[in-house]
């Protein structure tokens, strides 16, 4: 079994992973990753949410920030950033963030190596805690979130994005089997929506919004909204054809279609078909 760093170094050399390396910001060119993320629809929407819920907030704690794509971009957007990443490598860890900090000549970012469960920052000291694709890797999810909420100021924003959600153990097994990298390093994980929300509430924050997979570009990026609209239209057209095959011309009656959707639970976009679909959570410290 490879380490996470060895896995990324390995897939960089494999043509079949070329798209994944670029879309997941794993390119060996660290600046390329930062600039790609900085111009993404995901990051634009992230900034919109932060400015909406914390318009005056300037201190961001970025937990489990990997190679620094988010931390550096927050710093470039004039936030004071504290980056926390347990991996120390120059490939996917804090070493990469230090390289980028020097490259961009940033003095508004601090870098720490640790797990979220062990952070030692003062209570009530950050306006925003941002967690991208890290909550599902928690060793102890309740302690993980409790520490993140503890260091937030009252009414501070806890923004957890792109965490894998499963419905049950069978669904989790399917997700792990389908994940393109889990077979190399064995480090993937996922929780149910209820476990995430309970951990946030127990920690002393209120979940304001649970963004399911198709609710936000943050979750489904790099897929474009226009692509989803086309997919929804195709799925609807295909389902109407199947219905027409069964009941003939009656399928063209709008009321029949409405009743069919209601009683068949048909959805033009169904997240159940996405293994380990990603959710995001907008929460406010009580």
Comparing 142 with 264, the larger pLDDT belongs to 142
The CATH number of whichever domain residue 162 belongs to comes to 3.40.50.150
Cβ-based neighbour number of residue 211 at 10 Å = 20
- Please tell me the predicted confidence (pLDDT) of residue 244: 85
Dump pLDDT digits (tens) for 125-164.
Answer: 999 999 999 999 999 999 999 999 999 999 999 999 999 9
State whether 113 and 235 are in the same domain. Answer: no
Of the given ranges (11-15, 96-100, 199-203, 240-244), which has the lowest mean pLDDT? 240-244
Distance set, CA 30 to CA 27, 68, 86, 124 (Å):
7, 9, 18, 32
175 pLDDT band, cuts 50/70/90, is very high
State pTM to two decimals: 0.92
Percent of the chain's residues with pLDDT above 90: 84
Contact 185, 285 (CB under 8 A): no
Dump pLDDT digits (tens) for 96-135.
Answer: 999 999 999 999 999 999 999 999 899 999 999 999 999 9
Question: Which range in 62-76, 233-247, 257-271 is most confidently predicted, on average pLDDT?
Answer: 62-76
State whether 252 and 131 are in the same domain. Answer: no
**Three-state secondary structure call for residue 243:** helix
- Please tell me the predicted confidence (pLDDT) of residue 266: 81
Give kind and range of the element (H or E) at residue 224: none
The CA distance from 5 to 3, in Å, is: 5
State whether 176 and 242 are in the same domain. Answer: no
Residue 236 belongs to what domain range? Answer: 225-271
In degrees, to the nearest 5, what angle opens at C-alpha 6 toward C-alphas 166 and 16?
70
Count up the domains in the chain and report the number. 2
């Amino acid at each position: 079994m490879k380490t996470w760093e060895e896995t990324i170094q390995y897939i960089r050399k494999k043509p079949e992973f070329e798209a994944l390396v670029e879309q997941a910001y794993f390119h060996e060119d660290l600046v390329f990753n930062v600039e790609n993320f900085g111009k993404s629809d995901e990051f634009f929407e992230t900034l919109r949410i932060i400015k909406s819920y914390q318009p005056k907030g300037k201190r961001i704690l970025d937990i489990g920030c990997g190679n620094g794509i988010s931390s550096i971009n927050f710093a470039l957007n004039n936030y004071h950033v504290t980056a926390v990443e347990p991996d120390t490598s120059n490939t996917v860890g804090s070493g990469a963030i230090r390289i980028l900090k020097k490259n961009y000549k940033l003095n508004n970012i601090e870098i720490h190596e640790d797990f979220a469960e062990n952070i030692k920052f003062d209570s009530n000291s950050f306006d925003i805690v941002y967690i991208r694709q890290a909550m599902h890797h928690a060793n102890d999810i309740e302690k993980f979130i409790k520490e993140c909420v503890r260091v937030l100021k009252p009414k501070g924003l806890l923004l957890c994005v792109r965490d894998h959600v499963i419905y049950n153990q069978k669904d989790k097994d399917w997700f792990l089997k389908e994940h393109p990298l889990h077979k190399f390093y064995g480090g993937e994980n996922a929780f149910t929506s209820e476990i995430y929300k309970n951990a946030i509430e127990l920690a002393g924050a209120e979940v304001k919004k649970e963004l399911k997979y198709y609710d936000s570009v943050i979750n489904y990026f790099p897929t474009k909204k226009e692509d989803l609209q086309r997919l929804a239209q195709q799925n609807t057209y295909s389902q109407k054809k199947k219905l027409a095959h069964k009941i003939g011309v009656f399928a063209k009656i709008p009321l029949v279609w409405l009743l069919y959707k209601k009683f068949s639970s048909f959805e033009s976009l169904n997240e159940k078909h996405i293994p380990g679909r990603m959710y995001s959570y907008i929460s406010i410290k009580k």
